[in-house]
Structure 1
Amino acid sequence: MTMYQNPILYADYSDPDVIRVGDDYYMVSSSFAYLPGIPLLHSRDLVHWEIINHCVPSLPFEKYNNPSHGSGTWAPAIRYRNGMFYVFVPLADEGIFVARSADPYGEFTLNCLHEAKGWIDPCPFWDDDGKAYMVFAYARSRSGIKHRLDLVEIDPDCRKLVGEPVTIFDGEQLGPTTEGPKLYKHQGFYYILMPSGGVYPGWQSALRSESVTGPYEYKIIMHQGNTDINGPHQGGWVTGPDGRHWFIHFQDVIELGRIVHLQPMCFHAGWPFIGSEQNGDGIGEPVKEWSLPVEGQPQYRIAQSDDFSGSSLGLQWQWQANPRASFFSLSGHPGIRLFCLANPVRENLLWYAPNAMTQIPQHQALSAVTKVRLQGDKAGDMAAIGMIGHFYAYLGLVKAEAGNELVLFSGTVTEKEFEGEAEEQPFASVPYDGDTVYFRLELFKNKTYRFAWSPDGIRYTSIGGANPLARATWTGAKLCLWSANKRNFISEGYGEYEFIHIEDRSGCEEGL
């Protein structure tokens, strides 16, 4: 019997939801203000995943043309009905939207279901009588409410509300910070699976009723118990072709975000039971390993390294704002050109840069090496590699009046719950005689990372010391490539990144 290990993805795919269509599984996750948004992942065994699309190419609001940390696409839900994939997308400041496509690899279109501030974590449900409903939660940061679930009837095509919301669960005492509800029907009962108690210290709960509108009974169905899996937090239930039930959820590891676990699930006395009984309290705890849901399927991997040889940007990349063609070029030259743009609205700091090209780290420890050529036009032109978070750092090749130099910058973000304000300064610098350099960023298991540079890709010289890894707003730290004019001059310069090679170092001694 082949076993799998948790977490199945040591990567920040937060608030996962999952469905099965035939023998294929599809999963979506939050992406907040990183765009294109709502990555769509595919698997044949629930353990090995690949990115196949994004459900939200861009957001139709001007504010997302610049970084809006903490806003954007919150916890989505995915469902399949009558040949159509529906992804319910909450924007905490703008309302509930629906992305839809008949082809999971094709283009998704976006419509507004309902304008509202503070409505989050929506999940659609079509009942046996043809009526459709949406269950949702509230964002305390926008509405002052954090413990209530409401249900509202919607039209079956998911384009408008039909009725008024009614409260079906008030968890002020039983389930504080109740959110992320997912609504299902099984053997005559309506079930809502949802996390309670907060992201880091919380648990997984369930509601059960014989009527979609309630009243609902409440039960805790999985918690940390004696394990080291904190949370365990929200996710989705899916049933395999063989009838076995599974639950995907996340665990918050802070600096690298919310990583993904897969749990066995069954029913006991009419209630879901998730994980395994490990401490005698009758509540499931997360498992470290379990038998693979199905054997002999493709062992997909999420792409990381890139030689930028395709006609479009790899699906592993996202921007800090709505994508624009003016950010980059892929044709007629080696690699990718990231243009040394000025910031149109404020000082040109990494935290404020819409054209920072980011990637979710896939490992606890890794090495990332890129070869970059700086074609400088104006003083201040820069090409860099870095790590974005509430403390961040990046190493750039910068054009100065007297010639090129290597500069290590560090930044600190305050007012973190919302968009945040950044302070940034150069930390170390050395002159550099040339326009082409290899940069290496090494992330270690002790939650630090270091930079080094090389003229030939063989002999590397460290610059600066250990930088503390830090999460960003509602996300884990992001690896990034960024070109800019640090003096905010309008420039024709660019950084030409020939490749980025990313290697898993989680099993290496120096990564401890």
Structure 2
Amino acid sequence: MSRPWTADRGDGTYRNPVLAGDWSDPDVVRVGDDYYLTVSSFGRVPGLPLLHSRDLVNWTLTGYALEPPAEEEGEPAGPRHDGGVWAPSLRHSGGRFWIFWGDPDVGIHQINAEDIRGPWTEPHLVKAGKGLIDPCPLWDEESGRAYLVHAWAKSRSGVKNRLTGHRMSPDGRTLLDEGEVIVDADLIPGWFTLEGPKLYRHDGWFWIFAPAGGVETGWQGALRSRDFFGPYEERVVLEQGRTEVNGPHQGGWVRTGAGEDWFLHFQSRGAYGRVVHLQPMRWDDAGWPVMGDAGEPVSVHPKPDLPPQPVAAPATDDSFPGGRYGRQWQWTAAPRAGWTVPHSGDGLLATCLRTADAHDLRLLPNVLVQRLPAPEFTATVGLSLDSTEPGARAGFAVLGDAFSWIGLERGPDGRVQLVHRYAETVAERERDAEYARPAPGGRARLRIEVSAGARCRFAADTGDGFVPSGQVFAAVPWRWVGAQLALFAAAPAGTGPAGTALFSDFRVNA
């Protein structure tokens, strides 16, 4: 298995980021010798990825906590690129795992399970309302009470820079009061855009770890109070300083079985999305947390004092056995039956979905995506198009607010051609990036080479070796999501089957 990025340096140290892909808004919990992490999934399906580690450095993707909703009648819903699951919190209490998250257009939800592998309960709406984001629960063992804190999205509510607290029923289903603002950062000199709170109890204090100052330019703060409802005193505990780690933004604190403290947080890296860093943490003489190297992020550091583990990273490669795709893939919208076709061999047999949006990948629901896995890598996939429908196409893309793809299309003359197209951020329709050329047998091997700065070079092999195509494409993120590698199959609007496309042997190499 190829690994374009690993954090474990093999000498007892690790390098940051420990997760080089777009694993946004991480939260972490320890149960026994195991560490579990979940992240935002926004509009991608399935939602709430679950990662596992035994040393906080080597992580694997084990599954998802939020499965797609049941199939509905009518046209499939389109992508919700800036909606869906925002900034979850992961906790373990009362023998159960709990995940709370905010959908900025609906409200705060929770699910829970006895086993991290599920089954997870159906989503329960804890608090309805627009702009309710970044919820975090706390079951206080000292008092036997439960609490919830959340932040606000100004884009939906007109409110930001404050945290609201509630008493909560121990079963996590009901809030016991109307809530009150427990931290108003407008009253803290120099603090703005306070969000992403994580709530803890430590050393007789209620603690809120929360970033402020903005995703790209801010810092990590810590706030403490003897009473949940405040007042809170605050301190900056991690900031960019002399390093190249901008942000650094929200994350979660975890204590190992050996008593070491660590903090996982994200850093926004443009088209690469929000990558995850691991910081050592200690408590100073005044009882405040100190993260990283005296409050600045570390780039290389000794690993946690935990048993050695095999070098690991989330999977990228896929041979699609039996027509099934691996856990590393998500859809851009809730999938429907028939988008892929099971079969007895290897390769993903994708249906050319008829849609009026076939010329804008940003609007297609049936796009299968995975994260850019490293700053530099090369990804390849085989493709054959089995369709007699003029305009039917399938391809391999880098997808964000702008996109570029290379693939196959059935032309009006009945021949299959290799095409390369792109769309700028403001464009409503794609344009040719290169002149079309024949694809004998309707087959090609497609390649995207990503270099520093997410600069993407496209190439294809139609039987005479890989030939470069088009100009360098500079990938860009979606609003909250990094650019993604994408596979799709589509056809013009109409009736009746439009054929299929077979993707095979997806490989990523450093």
How high is the TM-score relative to the length of structure 1? 0.92
Aligned to 2:8: none
Could you tell me how far apart the structure 1 residues matched to 2:349 and 2:174 are? 43
Pairwise mapping of residues 390-409 of structure 1 onto structure 2 (< 5 A)? 390-402=401-413, 403-409=415-421
Specify which of 117, 120, 131 is matched with residue 133 of structure 2. Answer: 120
Say whether the 8 Å CA contact 1:382–1:486 is kept in structure 2: no
Shift of 1:310: 5.5
How many Å separate the matches in 2 of 1:117 and 1:339?
36
Q: 1:242 to 1:310 in 2, by over 3 A?
A: farther
The structure 1 residue matched to 2:50, chosen from 28, 40, 48, is 40
Q: Is the 8 A contact 1:31 1:37 kept in 2?
A: yes
* Structure 2 CA distance for partners of 1:477 and 1:488, relative to 1, 3 Å: farther
The alpha-carbon distance between structure 1 residues 487 and 431, as it changes in their structure 2 partners (threshold 3 A), is farther
> Is 2:349–2:501's contact at 8 Å kept on the other side of the alignment?
yes
- Aligned-pair distance for 1:488? 6.0
State which of 425, 430, 439 in structure 1 corresponds to 2:437: 430
The equivalent of 2:241 in structure 1 is 225
Offset of residue 412 of structure 1: 2.5
Q: Deviations over 1:11-64 (max 9, x none)?
A: 110110000000000001111111111111000000110011111112589898
Say if 2:147 is the partner of 1:137: no
Q: Could you say which residue in structure 1 is the equivalent of 2:212? A: 196
Q: Give the equivalent residue in structure 1 for 2:293.
A: 276
Could you tell me how far apart the structure 2 residues matched to 1:111 and 1:69 are?
A: 22
Match for 1:54 among 59, 64, 67? 64
Q: Is the 8 A contact 2:406 2:458 kept in 1?
A: yes
Cα root mean square deviation, aligned: 1.8
SS in 2 for 1:114: strand
| Alignment of 1:180 onto 2:196 | yes
Structure 2 equivalent of residue 290 of structure 1: 301
8 Å CA contact 1:397, 1:407 repeated in 2 = yes
* Residue 43 (structure 2) pairs with residue 29 (structure 1): no
Tell whether 2:332 aligns with 1:320. Answer: yes
CA shift, 1:499, in A, is 1.6
Structure 1 residues 478 and 6: CA distance shift in structure 2, 3 A:
same
- Once the two structures are TM-superposed, the CA of residue 335 in structure 1 deviates from its matched residue by 0.8
Which of residues 304, 309, 319 in structure 1 aligns to 2:316? 304
CA contact (8 A) 1:121 1:180 kept: yes
**Residue in structure 2 matched with residue 411 of structure 1 by the alignment:** 423
- For residues 384-407 of structure 1, give each alpha carbon's deviation from its aligned partner in whole angstroms, at most 9, with x where no partner exists: 000101121001200112211111
CA distance in 2, matches of 1:310, 1:5: 37
Equivalent AA in structure 2 for residue 434 of structure 1: G
1:387-432 deviation line (CA, Å, top 9, x unaligned): 1011210012001122111111111334xxxxxx843223322232
Aligned-residue offset at 1:478 = 0.4
What amino acid does structure 1 have at the position aligned with 2:500?
A: Y
User: Aligned-pair distance for 1:347?
Assistant: 5.3
CA distance in 2, matches of 1:178, 1:203: 10
1:411 partner amino acid: A
8 Å Cα contact 1:379/1:487 also seen in 2: no
Deviation at 1:254, TM superposition (A): 0.8
Please give the per-residue CA displacement for 1:213-250, whole angstroms capped at 9, x wherever unaligned: 11111111111111111111100000000111000001
Q: Over residues 272-307 of structure 1, what are the superposed CA-to-partner deviations in whole Å (9 max), with x where a residue is unaligned?
A: 111112xxxxxx000111111124123322110100
Partner of 2:396: 385
**Deviation of the 1:317 alpha carbon:** 0.2
* Amino acid across the alignment from 1:366: F
Q: 1:65 aligns with which of 62, 77, 81?
A: 77
- Alpha-carbon deviation of 1:145? 1.5
Q: SS where residue 425 of structure 2 aligns?
A: strand
What is the identity percentage for the equivalent residue pairs of Structure 1 and Structure 2?
38
Q: List structure 1 runs of 4+ shifted beyond 6 angstroms.
A: 60-64
Check whether the contact 1:250–1:260 (CA below 8 A) recurs between aligned residues.
Answer: yes
Residue identity opposite 1:440 in structure 2: R
Equivalent residue of 1:434, what SS? helix
Alpha-carbon distance between aligned partners in 2 of 1:85 and 1:181, rounded to the nearest angstrom: 19
Q: Which residue of 1 aligns with 2:503?
A: 497
Deviations 1:297-336, CA, capped at 9 Å, x for gaps: 2332211010011574311000000122221123234311
Looking at structure 2, the residues matched to 399 and 346 of structure 1 have their Cα atoms a distance apart, in angstroms, of: 17
Counterpart of 2:475 in structure 1 is 469
What residue is the counterpart of 2:4 in the other structure?
A: none
8 Å Cα contact 1:342-1:348 kept in structure 2: no
Match of 2:95 in 1: 83
Task: Name the SS of the counterpart of 2:353 in structure 1.
Answer: coil
Name the residue aligned to 1:418.
Answer: none
**In 2, Cα distance between the equivalents of 1:54 and 1:107?**
10
Compared CA separation, residues 250 and 310, structure 1 to 2 (3 A): farther
Partner of 1:10: 20
Question: 2:173 & 2:325 partners in 1: Cα distance?
Answer: 31
Q: Distance in 2 between matches of 1:151 and 1:490?
A: 54
TM-score relative to the length of structure 2: 0.92
> 2:251 touches 2:264 (CA, 8 Å); kept in 1?
yes
Where structure 2 has 5 or more consecutive residues not aligned to the other structure, the ranges are 1-10
| Contact 2:392/2:498, CA 8 A, preserved across alignment | no
Sort the Cα spacing of 1:387 and 1:488 in 2 relative to 1 into closer, same or farther, 3 A.
farther
Quote how far apart the aligned CAs of 1:486 are. Answer: 4.5
Q: For residue 235 of structure 1, what is the aligned residue in structure 2? A: 251
Query: Of 359, 364, 375, which aligns to 2:370?
Result: 359
**2 CA distance for matches of 1:239 and 1:212?**
22
Residue of structure 2 equivalent to 1:510? none
Within 2, Cα distance between the matches of 1:488 and 1:196? 50
Conserved 8 A contact 2:394-2:407: yes
Which residue matches 2:449?
A: 442
What does residue 280 of structure 1 align with?
A: none
1:25 aligns to what SS in structure 2? Answer: strand
SS in 2 for 1:177: coil
Q: Is the 8 A contact 2:220 2:237 kept in 1?
A: yes
Question: One-letter code of the match for 1:158?
Answer: G
Work out whether 1:245 is the aligned partner of 2:269. Answer: no
